[in-house]
Amino acid sequence: MKNGNAGQRVDLVVVGAGFGGLYAVYKFREMGLRIAAFEAGGDVGGVWYWNRYPGARVDLPSIDYSYSFSPEVEQEWTWSEEFASQPELLAYFNFVADRLDLRKHYQFNTRVTRAVWDEVRKLWKVTTDRGETIEATYCVMATGPLSIPRDPEIPGIDSYKGQLLRAGKWPHHPVDFTGKRVGVIGTGSTGIQIVQEVGRQADELFVFQRTPSFTMPMRNQKLDPDYVADVKRNYAGIREAARNSPNGGVRPWTTRAFFSVTPSRRRELLEDAWKSGGLTMLGTFTDLLSNEEANEHVAEFVRGKIDGVVTDSVTAEKLKPRGYPIFARRPCLDTGYYETFNQPNVRLIDCVTDPIVEITEHGVRTQSGETELDMLIFATGYDGLTGALTAFDVVGRNGCTVNEKWKEGARSYLGLMMEGFPNLFMTTGPNGPAALANIVRISENDVDWIANAITHMADHGLDTIEPTRKAEDDWMALVLKLAQRSLLSKAKTWYVGTNVKDKAQGLTLFTGGFPRYREYCAAAIQNGYRDFVFERGRKPVAAA
Ligand code: NA7
């Protein structure tokens, strides 16, 4: 599709060309629906289209972080590394788009600026930054949990005269750091990946750290062709196992509680997990996110590893995360991050004891003085989970916007729909398991669920679908109850919204595990859609 959408009427609008969007376009096209799809980026890939910073890499095994819906794609695509790099991930997206001929449905470089529910005509009017308006019966917001990068709230950003780079909007050309004085603000997953890479190239690297993250060795490796062949023969079983695991992936998990084994056995298990790499440690005990004492033991184990690597004891101490549970912030995976701080060209600036005051013409001024920089990189995170749908006006019944609805915190039913927003669906939406389970498995689950709902409506001649207030209230109560049992709320992170000024705070994630989430989604269909209100014409219709 080029630019010929103005005034067009379609069955369904899809926003986004990441994992959720591409599968949605495929699925709904196969159902025979007329689709218009929009993507702000210049091509497919979602977050992997934008995040081209050096060292960008997924923290789930590539085998898991890929579609299961297409046997052709599974068999024809070959992953080269256990944890794929951004270029390989982008190549995968392009392969899928070409192989399934999805690109033609998209209008790229086009941002949706407004979506308004027309109560009389029972359709969504979707407006883009190109000034066109499309009408659609259904709207699928596949806008992703991490699509609105945010600058740090530091005065003076505009005055900086050096080269300013943002991890989430990285240039499309190679950036050369040789001979440069480089600063990185932010030490989450993104900052860590950048630091370990840029530290090897830059003349001097200054790492501005406010909250240290726990990071564990990724131990990435090239995939053995025999292993890949074996995976390809067994994809069906691998996918089934992933769907039935709490994290939606093949990562090992257990039914063993931390204090159920002796201290020496615990140590052994943690050492094994450390050696095995990736997020293995997260699956070593069941209660790491519910038992504070168990959690602190594991945190101390990881802090000990920092001492084992970082030679300067003051720097080692500063790098040790304290004051929040391990895994309550997204655990990071690294390849030599701590080793980077043993290099003479790398300096850690602790922004707790020496806070950033402003960004100046020449660099960054902390309380103790100015650090002059040729290049400054922001790795300062995202308005996560909700940011994409609050960044523009999504207007439901009675003129109510998503922003208004979510003023006190994001609400939804199953992370899929909202009361007051008929025929509007989300994939990996807030109050679903996004961020806590494999986003590809969640996206597939969500698109399949939406497809079921649309088929049900077509079969019964229904015009609108919307969850009841009670269903949404009950779901939110469950999400809250589970969240209260989890240590995830005990850290300041994008999971709980504390990283964005004035954002409502609270854990807007379903923490009950992926299989249980799938069960709830399936039950909402199998019980005859009793948690939804349907309309035919202007009349409410009881669930069939
Ligand atoms: P994160 O994990 O939200 O990290 C953002 C980092 O930026 C974090 O260390 C913040 O410190 C830091 N930050 C933000 N503002 C400032 C200011 N003003 N001064 C100093 N430091 C600041 O985002 P990522 O992009 O790394 O990772 C996002 C997800 O991508 C990750 O969870 C994985 O799922 C992949 P703070 O914690 O606020 O003290």
- Delimit the domains of the chain by residue range: 8-148+383-541, 149-214+327-381
pLDDT mean over 488-516: 94
Pocket test of ligand 1: the residue of 51, 189, 354 to mutate, having most ligand atoms within 8 Å of its CB, is: 189
| Residues 504-520, mean pLDDT to the nearest whole number | 96
pLDDT at 488: 95
Q: Which residues contact 134 (CB under 8 A, 6 or more apart)?
A: 5, 6, 7, 8, 9, 10, 13, 36, 125, 126, 128
Alpha carbon distance 274, 46 (integer Å): 31
pLDDT at 147 over 70: yes
Task: Give the distance (Å) from ligand 1 centre to CA of residue 190.
Answer: 8
Cβ–ligand 1 distance for 152 under 6 Å, the answer yes
CB 351, CB 210: distance < 8 Å = yes
Q: Answer yes or no: is the C-beta of 128 below 6 A from any ligand 1 atom.
A: no
CATH class for the region spanning 8-148+383-541: alpha beta
What separation in Å is there between the alpha carbon of 327 and the centre of ligand 1? 14
pTM, full prediction: 0.96
537 pLDDT tier (thresholds 50, 70, 90)? confident
> Amino acid letter at 352?
V
CATH number, span 149-214+327-381:
3.50.50.60
> Tens of pLDDT along 339-363?
999 999 999 999 999 999 999 999 9
Indicate if the pLDDT at residue 4 is higher than 50: no
In short, whether 414's Cβ falls inside 6 Å of ligand 1 is no
Query: Which pLDDT value is given to residue 332?
Result: 97
The percentage of residues in the chain with a pLDDT greater than 90, rounded to a whole number, is 95
Do the first three CATH levels of 8-148+383-541 and 149-214+327-381 match, i.e. the same topology?
Answer: yes
How many whole angstroms from 330 Cα to the centroid of ligand 1? 10
Q: With a cut of 70, say whether residue 542 has pLDDT above it.
A: no
Contact 185 CB / ligand 1 (< 6 Å): yes
pLDDT in tens, 254-308: 889 999 999 999 999 999 999 999 999 999 999 999 999 999 999 999 999 999 9
Q: Using a 6 Å cutoff on CB, does residue 190 contact ligand 1? A: yes
Q: What is the pLDDT of residue 3?
A: 42
Q: Does residue 1 surpass a pLDDT of 70?
A: no
Least confidently predicted of 91-105, 239-253, 415-429: 239-253
The strand pair at 112-118 and 123-128 is best described as antiparallel
Q: What is the pLDDT at residue 2?
A: 42
Q: In the predicted model, is pLDDT for residue 6 greater than 80?
A: no
Q: Which pLDDT band, with edges at 50, 70 and 90, does 374 fall under? A: very high
pLDDT of 544 > 60? The answer is no
Residue 539: its pLDDT value, please?
72
User: Could you tell me if 15 and 21 are in contact, meaning their C-beta atoms sit under 8 angstroms apart?
Assistant: yes
Task: Return mean pLDDT, the chain.
Answer: 96
Q: Are strands 532-536 and 464-467 parallel, antiparallel or unpaired?
A: antiparallel
Q: In degrees to the nearest 10, what's the CA dihedral of 170, 195, 489, 143?
A: 20
In angstroms, rounded to a whole number, what is the distance separating the alpha carbons of residues 5 and 2? Answer: 8
Show the DSSP H helices in 186-291 as ranges.
Answer: 189-198, 225-233, 235-243, 263-276
Which backbone phi and psi does 130 adopt, to 5 degrees?
Answer: -95, 5
The answer to whether residue 177 scores a pLDDT higher than 70 is yes
- Minimum CA distance residue for ligand 1 atom 37: 211
Q: Is the CB of 145 under 6 A from ligand 1?
A: no
Atom of ligand 1 minimally distant from the CA of 192: 26
Burial 305-339 (b: 16+ CB within 10 A, else e): bbeeebeeeebbebbbbeebbbbbbbbbbbbbbbe
Give bridge partners of residue 426 from the DSSP assignment.
Answer: 141
pLDDT score recorded for residue 292: 97
Interval between CA 501 and ligand 1 midpoint (Å): 13
Distance 212 CA to ligand 1 centre (A): 10
Task: Find all residues with CB under 8 Å of 6, minimum gap 6, and list them.
Answer: 131, 132, 133, 134
Establish whether residue 376 lines the binding site of ligand 1, counting it when its CB lies within 6 angstroms of any ligand atom: no
Per-residue confidence band for 7, with pLDDT thresholds at 50, 70 and 90: low
**What's the mean pLDDT in 241-256?**
88
What is the C-alpha to C-alpha distance for residues 528 and 544, in angstroms, rounded to an integer? 6
Distance from residue 381's CA to the centre of ligand 1 (Å): 4
